[in-house]
Structure 1
Amino acid sequence: MRSAFDFSPFRRSTVGFDRLFDMLETNDLAETGEKYPPFDLVKCGDDEYRIDIAMAGFSRDELEITAQQNQLIVSGRKSDDTDETYIHRGIATRAFERRFGLADHVQVSGADMHDGLLSISLKREIPEAMKPRKIEIGESASSDQGALEDQRNTVDA
């Protein structure tokens, strides 16, 4: 399904945002309808973020966190090695896979589980080569051309 918005003016005036426009046009950013497990996105600082995911009933051994390219994948699989018989089971323990799209240069800096919450810390680390730098303005061929014209005018006079 294509977006109703036309991104072509933005495509003409920007460089390197093709992936973002493709995602917006194909609605890849739309909710998939999956709401389990619930999570919070927290901005901790200018370049620091945290994802808190409710993991009631899961242990550290039953969870897996994978960071690849611009995507963070959190998956869990509960082992069914209990001998208990449930009358009612209200705590969801089904297998899941939750995907989060990460911006360029966002890295996972750590993960911790406390009080049933899995907290994944993220940090944007822009490489030195990508940071803004001042460009010195030097003499160019046009200023050399002006000096040559001055010399010609002096000789002709």
Structure 2
Amino acid sequence: MRTNFDFTPYRRSTVGFDNLFDLLETSTRAATVDNYPPFDIERSGDDSYRITIAIAGFKADEIEMVAQANKLVVTGKKAEVEGDDTRQFVHRGIATRAFERRFELADYVTVSGANLDNGLLTIDLVREVPEAMRPRKIAIGGQTPQLEVAKAA
């Protein structure tokens, strides 16, 4: 059983972390979790990721992906086929119900591509930090700051 954790003391002593605490509070809420469709998230490089979603039975035109403001929403809705009433299933185990999957993306993470192959939707993501936001080496003393990029640790 999950209990809600109160982040109020942390919110009072930090600045600019509202989004982080909102995500933590959302993840700790007791809610019905829908595990359909199943997915994997893998790190494919230092600044690149891949989401793989198992969507057997869906065609590319039945899937919609929308990326906006640190969020990626993948929805799928099966197209109705006329004359499909004639099929009589003894067992129906392949799920083709409509779905919506939401992924929270970190700052500067964008979708670089997507591919549907053999029932697996792969979404490639890359983190592109703008030059102005990268760490810079600052000279100490009366000189003007150097704008050379510091090496990442």
TM range (shorter): 0.7 to 0.9
Higher CA-based Rg: 1
Return the offset for 1:96.
0.6
SS, match of residue 20 in structure 1: helix
CA distance in 1, matches of 2:45, 2:8: 31
Provide the C-alpha distance between the structure 2 equivalents of 1:127 and 1:17, rounded to a whole number of angstroms.
Answer: 20
Matches within 5 A, 1:1-157: 3-4=4-5, 6=7, 8-9=9-10, 12=13, 14-24=14-24, 26=25, 28-30=26-28, 32-81=32-81, 82-83=83-84, 84-139=87-142
Question: What is the distance in 2 between the residues matched to 1:69 and 1:114?
Answer: 27
Give the alignment's TM-score, normalised by structure 2.
0.79
Asked if structure 2 preserves the Cα contact closer than 8 Å seen for 1:52 and 1:119, the reply is yes
Structure 2 gaps of 5+ residues are 144-153
Identical aligned pairs, as a percentage? 55
- Given that 1:11 and 1:18 are in contact with CA atoms closer than 8 Å, whether structure 2 keeps it comes out as no
Q: How high is the TM-score relative to the length of structure 1?
A: 0.77
Q: Aligned Cα RMSD in Å?
A: 2.4
> 2:150 aligns to what?
none
C-alpha separation between the residues in 1 aligned to 2:126 and 2:12? 28
Q: What is the rounded CA distance, in whole Å, between the counterparts of 1:11 and 1:44 in structure 2?
A: 37
CA drift of 1:6 comes to: 4.5
Go from structure 1 to structure 2 and tell me whether the alpha carbon gap of 1:117 and 1:23 turns closer, same or farther (over 3 Å shift): same
Q: Deviations over 1:21-40 (max 9, x none)?
A: 2322x2x1247411000000
Alpha carbons of structure 1 residues 35 and 129: separation in structure 2 relative to 1, 3 Å = same
* Partner secondary structure for residue 29 of structure 1: helix
Unaligned runs of 5+ in 1: 141-157
- Structure 1 runs of 4+ aligned residues shifted over 4 Å read none
Given that 1:7 and 1:21 are in contact with CA atoms closer than 8 Å, whether structure 2 keeps it comes out as no
**Higher relative helix content:** 1
Q: Deviations over 1:110-154 (max 9, x none)?
A: 0001111000000111010100011223439xxxxxxxxxxxxxx
Equivalent-residue separation in structure 1 for 2:140 and 2:90 (angstroms): 77
